Amino acid sequence: MTDYHCHLLPNIDDGPTTIDESIEMAKLLVNAGYDTVYCTPHLIKGLYEADNKTVKTAVNDLQNALNQEKIAL
């Protein structure tokens, strides 16, 4: 199953604030049957303004952490 709108990246918007919270959320998603998640952080001027480099780094860091934890997401 695929989630096309997920705030899983840590410390980017109103989602999790730490990588540990992201990992716990990922475990819940996998347990619920998800195998693919598209991280879609908010971009709201003056509130959430992460640039592309920051988002890409967060995606890579999270994927590396999930791989280390053997979480298939």
Q: What's the pLDDT tens digit per position in 23-64?
A: 999 999 999 999 999 999 998 899 889 999 999 999 999 999
Q: Is residue 51 part of a domain?
A: yes
Q: Is residue 59 part of a domain?
A: yes
pLDDT at 52: 93
Q: Is residue 17 part of a domain?
A: yes
Count the domains in the chain: 1
Q: Is residue 29 part of a domain?
A: yes
Residue-by-residue DSSP string for 8-72: -STTSSSS-SSHHHHHHHHHHHHHTT--EEEE----BTTTB---HHHHHHHHHHHHHHHHHTT--
pTM: 0.90
Q: Is residue 16 part of a domain?
A: yes
Q: Is residue 20 part of a domain?
A: yes
| Domain boundaries, position 17 | 2-68
